[in-house]
Amino acid sequence: MQDGTRAAPDGLLPSVNADADTLFNLFRDKTISPHELTALVGAHSTSQQFATSPNRKDFGKPQDTTPGIWDVSFYNETIQPTPLPKTFRFASDSVIAKDPRSSDEWNSFIGDQSHWNEDYAKAYVRLSLLGVNVINGMTECTKTLPKAQPSFAGSTEGFVEEKRKRKAKRGASPATSGCTFGY
């Protein structure tokens, strides 16, 4: 098989301003469930915004505070009331995070890298095989992937739990010590 030499037609990606119904219906038409879409959107953990916002100060901003790192920080940071400094948030990510069809799964990914890795991998395989007619001719190559790193320098995973513990020691009530960042 060979890659195409022409660019894909415009309009094949969903709008970053689409509502949850539009997004879920678009992906359901491709046999991708809300659960699977919630996992796939986590790839925004490594992305940067270059074409969505006309505001020059937003050019190149990442979708979470660990750009280029495959982690679950994106899920917690997306549900914060406002984007964290030096990050950019797609409206479509926020509506998926809040929608009752996906919010439980969204929240279950927070702080659970293994759960997200597993769900993402399954959803990605499903997505990557859409329209593939030569599945038997494919080569298994997952053994070439590097081993998962449970933690690494710069990760914000565990930050929220540590903050919660510090607040509890100071006597803050659990209701007022939710998952917010105080940079």
Average pLDDT (61-86) is: 94
Res. 178 pLDDT band, cuts 50 70 90 = very low
Distance separating alpha carbons of residues 174 and 165, to the nearest angstrom: 10
The answer to whether residue 47 scores a pLDDT higher than 80 is: yes
Looking at CATH, the fold of the domain delimited by 20-129+143-172 is given as Peroxidase; domain 2 (1.10.420)
Q: Where are the domains of the chain?
A: 20-129+143-172
Residue with tokens 């406002």: 82
Burial 19-30, CB ≥16 within 10 A → b, else e: ebeebbeebeee
* Phi, psi at 103, each rounded to 5°: -65, -35
- The pLDDT assigned to 79 comes to 97
Per-residue pLDDT tens over the stretch 161-174: 565 566 667 765 44
Which is it for strands 61-62 and 48-49: parallel, antiparallel or unpaired?
Answer: antiparallel
How high is the pLDDT of residue 23?
Answer: 95
